[in-house]
Chains A and B, each alone.
Chain A
Amino acid sequence: TVTAQEDGMPLPGVSVVVSGTSQGTATDFDGNYTLENLSRDATLVFSYVGYKTQEIKYTGQTTLDVVLAADAGQLEEVVITGYSRERKVDVTGAITVVELGPTEGASLSSGSAVQGLQGQVPGLFIEKNGDPTGTSNNILIRGATTLGNNNPLFVIDGVPTVRQEVFAGINPSTIESVQVLKDASASSLYGARAGNGVIIITTKNSAKAAGGEKFRVTINSNISMLSEKQQRYDMLNAQQRGEVLWQASVNDGADPNAGYGEIYNFDWNGDFNNPVLNGVTIQPYVGGDTNVPVGDTNWQDEMYKTGYVYNNEISVSGGTDNSFHLLNIGHLKNTGILKYTGYERINGKLNSNFHLFDNKLRIGVNTQFSTSDETLASQDVGSARIPSLSITLAPTIPVYDSDGNFAGPIGAGYSDRNNPLLMQYINRWDNTDRTTIFGNIYAELDILDNLTFRTSLGLDHSNYQRKDIEPRVFNGFITRANNRLIIDSNKFSSLVFSNTLNYQLELNDKHKIGVLLGIESIKDDFSSVYAQADGFSIETEDYFVLKEATGARTTTGRSTGSRLLSQFGKINYAFEDRYLASFTLRRDGSSRFGADNRYGIFPAGTLGWRISNEEFWPENDVLNTLKLRAGYGEVGNQTIGDIARFGLFESRYGSNQNQFVPDFFNIYYNVGTAYDLNGVNTGNLPSGFVSIQAANSELKWETTKEFNFGVDFNMFNNNVTGSFDYFTRETSDILTTPPIASVIGEGQQRVLNGATTQTRGWELSLAYSKTFDNGLKFAVATNFGAFKDEITALPEEVVSSYPGTVDNSIIGHSQFSIFGYKTAGLFQSDQDVQDSPTQVGARPGGLKFQDLDGNGSIGAEDRDFLGTTLPDLEYGIRINLEYKNFDLSLFGSGVAGRIGQDPYIFWNNYASGRENSGLGVLDAWTPNNTGSDIPSLSLAFNDQRISDYLYRKNSYFKLRNLQFGYSFSEDLISNWAGMTGLRVYFQGENLFWFTPKDYIGADPERTNVDNIPVPTIMSLGLNINF
């Protein structure tokens, strides 16, 4: 009998060949095989896809049992497809099993297991930002399904969560497998919340998965060095900025000395018709203050430093057939690349289980906790984000004045911003603590040999506390005379109770039937408390405690929750290992919908045909195995507010809009219901109620229906493996909260089942691996994902909240479409302006727009769809090489066929009166420099309407990861305290990238300059096993 190592299950279809002969057979359904007339000393070769080939000498025994070990270089065999395990070969949905081993380094240097998935899975798109927390700001499976939240569902050891940080906090050495369920037929069993795809994470909880019965100790250690130098924008220095301000002012017909005479002295002829600049000198002092000598500051240089990440984790695991325990503890510290930022996390994990009563009852826990503390990028007194302020602040402002105090902008010609280094410094006491407890306790009982009952109680709990200390500021124009402490805390708890019954039946060795029945309830509760107090007499970190405040105080808080109750069932059927079928049905009830629309029913079915197991399939070396898959499934989405269906009023005694829509100016926007009717100017005010949401009792589930067709194949002696999927998906009754005409009034927006979108796409993964005779192992894996989304229907009242016009609407276009003007270069002369369609603000050297409707003037009707910001194609490639003790891996991924707004363009291609500009403005259009594509400089007429000038192709290919490792030989290390494995590696991430020709910015992944850039990372790592 041939069995698999990890679960002891028999392996059917294993090829058994007598080496050097044509004699051979394959194992049957139970893994049995028979060979006759074997000569002694014959060598039997056992090979099977996904397993290590074994060669065994025949020594005359009558039975020869073989245990095949999974090949680490191949895809893991067993997958979790929804409350149960299935063999990979039996899977009929679009599921990708991710091999995380090679990406442990990336998980460690970022502190997030999410990063290990980047570029690994066809159709899975991940981008992160540069926060020291390592958070990924975008995780999309097969593009966007719905119009709102597109985050996937994570299911960790059977407990669902939508919180990315739970997954991010799992240390790599404890992860057994990660699977991405992409299509609805695969994810449907997870019903509600599965519409955006499901990522299933299983942590090690059996001795087999942890690598045998022996106790093992695994240590992973990683030190990384982070630098954002490659991601910087080139900005003007003090002298260059003076020249640019002169040119722009003169172009505007404004005297540069009037506007900027306090910063620069412009020596020019004063003739606007024929301006000649003799020279620009920089005034010696900022704002005329002799204590503040002018600087030539490169703010990015001042704000960023080399960051370090220290990440260490240790796992102890092991057990027997009757029990297993895994203990893991990890510590991560990221010192931040932006000064005075950082992140520290401690996490732990305990998986433990016992098998009782002759293995009939299994009980256990899977738990993890993490607690973290982060201090991130801050903002200045006027709410400018420090990462963008670090780019744009004028270079003539020095960092420090001559007394060594922080300098700031003062005097005419400067922006009303603060010194970003000071701002980051005074916010160094700000921090956010997050504590997560996650896991479940479970019991499994074999009622009959093939009937198993499982019950699990899962908890996803988080505590969040943000402390924001705002000391007084007397820097620059904008000061803050009052200090303040804000404590913003919330608590989230999700209790998941699942019960399943699993029945396996085999008939006549031909029919294999699996039945699953289950019920699940999910109870989510959230509550928050926000407190703010002013007036602290001393400004030390320890003194900022709420009770010490002497000034105004505010507290507020809220509480909300939701409930889900589901029943589900699944039937798997396999006939002779050739024909596979699976049918699932789930009924979800959600408290977010009214009694009439509470339940959604989501069916799915798949069919599979392993053609290569048919008898007519010719044994051949080209196409070794072939499986066809087809599936249809429906999933629901209820990602709306917990109380979206209700018409609601509330008392807003003291509210400003910032409490509902955080935004700088909203602090000063009173939206309250209290009013000083008595005219006494102070004291408690009469107050009322105001509508905040209109009712929609008809609100119901959003539904996604998806067809998936797939093929899995092995070719060329199993050296090439691959799969291809084509899918088409329609999401209807999409939940949206469209903006409304103002006349409808305050608080009258409501959630609607509105739009329909369609997505079509394909995914391909192809891998090649070969071990050469000289011991060189070579493997290359590629993946491609392409999709196109399209809005096919929108309620009339919603259309206008999307790009487009009544006549040229978004329908038929991607929801990520950009709608704007097409440009036709720059106006070259007054004559050109006169000969062109009328355009407001037209001037020589200005942007010229295309008159699409041909009416002779440029207006709103000349806009058209310019492209989409979601890529047409995503792709990744990984190359692994192993030779003797050395290993090398390279990994790159990219996107193609998208457009985006490169933030640098606003600085590089335009002058600005208050912000610094990029180097491009030095080459702007002038009557003597007509070849430039940069408009003639202006401080007042920078036409920045949405156009193809601002939105450009921003495809890229990035070399994301390069790893070079050396494993010490076992002979050597076994002398070292019984060490069984020792590997050191060097890793480089985000090393270089390729962008289209007219892309001007630094890093195409940096689309939001309010975030810290994603750094280039160099790491040194250690993997130790005992």
Chain B
Amino acid sequence: CSDDFLEYQPEGYLSVEDAATAENAEALVVAAYAGIANDEMIGPLTSMWVYGSVRSDDAYKGGGGRSDVDIIDRYEQYNLTIADDPSDWMGPRTWTNYYKAISRANFALEVINDIPDENYADKTLRQAELRFLRAHSHFMLKLLFKKIPYITEGLTQEETLEISNDVDNDALWNTIADDFLFAYNNLPQSQEQVGRADRNAAAAYLAKLRLYQAYEQNETHQVTNINLDRLQEVIDYADEVTGDLEADYGNNFLNGYDNGAESIWAAQFSINDGTTVSRVSFVMGLNSPHGTGLYGCCGFHLASQNMVNAFKTDASGLPLIDTFNDSNIFNTVDSNGEAPLAAGITLDPRIDHTVGIPGRPFKYRNTVSESGDMIYNFSWARDPGVYGYFGNMKEQQAPDCSCYVKEGPFIGTSKNIDFIRYADVLLFKAEALIQRNEVDAGITIINRIRERAAASTQRQIDAGATNVYNMGTYPMGMSKEDAIKALMFERRLEFGMEGPRFFDLVRWGVAEQVLNAYLDVEKTRKDFLANANFTAGRDEYYPIPQREIDFTGGLYVQNPGY
């Protein structure tokens, strides 16, 4: 009787045995998908605005002065060398969150591997999806931390703790690629459930991975060689990707276009789905305009003056690649809180999809019924004395959007976050072509991107934007050097403030050169940058979180400089 009395079974839980069954295999796969989108404001997984945009020349941290979420200020200033930083925000949490996602995929794989083939028709398919998910997380980790342990299924805790992060850089790329290859070889080109990984996404990812891999880095992150064979793979995989560009560039950043032709691989979000605060994304919750009752908080992630200047075009509608930053545009605010454009300047229309500019319509709207004016105004800026007044636009939705939820001070939306869109795949290919000296073929692709951008002005003009657009295409017959510059510049304009910028600069091996040149000028405009300086051989990557080194008994190797 006494043993009966002492027998207490958990209420409302599953045991490991109950969870690890064939019946639950599908559910465990769903949980693994959820894992890649379980990010948080202070440990992001999806949007790379902190790591890729603020850390580059695209954007400032924003918010209420430098001390507001000061960990991002340290990223922005490349000032991260306190080993035991008491703040546990951002980098270390992102590390943890990706490995959580990886562990979900691995657990599902363990369960599925053990199910006899004849009992599970979708076995290989699901294995391929899970390996894709696992590779995705490792890929993102690698962009941030470079040296990472690659964790596969079926390991005990002890075995997991023996996996070092000190592996050959090229070999690590190949390890990640193996998972993507398995996915590529075993997934259908598209899946009925659009949120699932498919062969198309695997091909795009392989193109992306081989592109990064092609720029071979040494221990201090310098690019020592560009591997042309890898670039050929980029071209081959890119050709396997089916997709199209959205007719209007802005569609990519609007509710209603999730999983469209341009969205190759994305994190899925949803609203009114019965979850506590809706499965919306709050990863950009700090980033809505501050000084307007329409949004209310918190004015982070603001376009740099340099970024705004980059959208200038010359008489032939081409960007001023070498001289764009010699003069500022939209740099005076009149008494109406608007920043008129000086006469004679023309713009790439993508600026009005990317940046909130005083006096210009925001999110293609000049009114929101009953909610007031949607012309971006100087007063929407939170701390203009420090960070200026340019806002971010791609991340925002109109406050009357059915995708929009305000929880506490922060705004989330059910808009998907794209990891790879088709424009990216095209430019991967263009980059590979140009590096392989197939310049005209590359420029042709760039021009396709530009033509779509040129055609993406209708919404702004309808909303009352002054039509100052002038877009042109590049001529054939450019030199390889000029074509590479054009490619680099095009990527910046096309993906402005979407996050890839910093990783592009590191891939190309030009981060130190570009960012310190940017800071030299930008600090004369914004004195909060007065002491910022990028240190080559260190600031290309984040430090391995000290606690992870400690928890593995010093097994992990720290990145140089930290």
Contacts and interface: CB of A to CB of B under 8 A. Distances in A.
A1026 to B, nearest CB: 49
A913 B409 contact: no
Contact of B24 (A668, A689, A914): A689
B551 A741 contact: yes
B276 A659 contact: yes
Interface string A795-813: 0110011000110000000
Nearest to B297: A478
Contacts of A691: 16, 19, 103, 107
Interface stretch (A433-441, A614-622, A679-687): A679-687
A837 to B, nearest CB: 14
A667 interface: yes
Interface in B23-52: 24, 26-35, 37-43
A655 B275 CA distance: 7
Given A655-B276, A674-B34, A740 B551 contact: yes
B95 A742 contact: yes
Nearest to B285: A668
A674 B83 CA distance: 37
Contacts of A650: 12-14
B79 interface: yes
A261 interface: yes
B298 A681 contact: no
Given A646-B15, A668-B407, A800-B551, A688 B27 contact: yes
B409 A253 contact: no
Contacts of B550: 800, 805-806
Interface stretch (A296-304, A880-888, A938-946): A938-946
B122 to A, nearest CB: 13
Nearest to A801: B551
B194 A940 contact: no
A591 B30 contact: no
Interface stretch (A166-174, A411-419, A1015-1023): A411-419
B385 A259 contact: yes
A760 interface: no
B546 A860 contact: yes
A690 B31 contact: yes
Contact of A669 (B2, B40, B106, B195): B40
Nearest to A800: B550
Contacts, number: 359
A259 B274 contact: no
A860 B151 contact: no
Nearest to A668: B282
The SS class assigned to the A binding surface is: loop
A155 to B, nearest CB: 21
A381 interface: yes
B290 interface: yes
Contacts of B100: 742, 745-746
A254 B67 contact: no
A946 B87 CA distance: 12
Interface in A483-502: none
Interface stretch (B227-235, B319-327, B527-535): B527-535
A741 B552 contact: yes
Contact of A742 (B83, B416, B548): B548
B519 to A, nearest CB: 14
Contacts of A860: 83-84, 546
Q: How large is the interface on A (under 10, 10 to 19, 20 to 34, 35 or more residues)?
A: 35 or more
A805 B553 CA distance: 10
B14 A665 contact: no
A945 to B, nearest CB: 6
Given A668-B410, A671-B38, A940 B73 contact: yes
Contact of A683 (B41, B43, B273): B273
A676 B268 CA distance: 6
A686 B29 CA distance: 10
Interface stretch (A274-282, A359-367, A561-569): A561-569
Interface stretch (B3-11, B169-177, B301-309, B493-501): B3-11
Contacts of A685: 270, 273-275, 279
Interface string B538-562: 0000000111101111100000000
A148 interface: no
A680 B385 contact: no
Most buried by B among A677, A742, A806, A946: A742
A480 interface: yes
A672 B277 CA distance: 11
A80 to B, nearest CB: 27
Interface stretch (B155-163, B200-208, B241-249): B155-163
Most chain B CB neighbours (cut-off 10 Å) among A252, A648, A748: A648
B121 interface: no
Interface string B264-296: 000011111111111100100100001101001
A257 B73 CA distance: 20
A559 B11 contact: yes
A65 B271 CA distance: 86
Contacts of B296: 477-479, 481
A560 B10 CA distance: 7
B5 A474 contact: no
B68 A563 contact: no
A477 B385 contact: no
B262 interface: no
B86 interface: yes
B65 interface: yes
Interface string B118-155: 00000000000000000000000000000001010000
Contact of B8 (A258, A591, A675, A684): A591
Contacts of A627: none
A381 B41 CA distance: 17
A946 B86 contact: yes
Contacts of A940: 66-67, 70, 73, 528
A261 B385 contact: yes
A939 to B, nearest CB: 6
A188 B244 CA distance: 75
A361 B507 CA distance: 89
A796 to B, nearest CB: 7
Given A480-B408, A685-B270, A679 B385 contact: no
B403 interface: yes
A939 B67 contact: yes
A481 B406 contact: yes
Contacts of A748: 103, 157
Contact of B40 (A670, A673, A678, A945): A670
Residue of B103, B381, B531 with highest tally of chain A CB at under 10 A: B103
A679 B258 contact: yes
A670 B70 CA distance: 23
A797 B277 contact: no
Contacts of B18: 649
A686 B30 contact: yes
A654 interface: yes
Contact of B6 (A254, A559, A591, A684): A591
B24 A743 contact: no
A653 B31 CA distance: 10
A646 B13 contact: yes
Contacts of A682: 270-273, 414
Contacts of B96: 742
Contacts of B151: 743, 745
A413 B160 CA distance: 48
B33 A677 contact: yes
Interface in A734-774: 739-746, 748
Contacts of B12: 558-559, 650
Shortest beta-carbon contacts, A-B, top 8? A745-B103, A654-B275, A688-B31, A669-B40, A258-B385, A800-B550, A746-B100, A741-B551
21 contacts: A261-B385, A415-B64, A416-B409, A477-B297, A552-B278, A565-B2, A649-B14, A649-B19, A675-B31, A676-B269, A678-B194, A681-B403, A687-B27, A739-B551, A741-B160, A741-B548, A742-B99, A744-B161, A746-B100, A806-B554, A946-B84
Given A561-B11, A745-B100, A945-B82, 7 more contacts: A412-B381, A558-B12, A668-B410, A674-B275, A687-B34, A806-B554, A859-B83
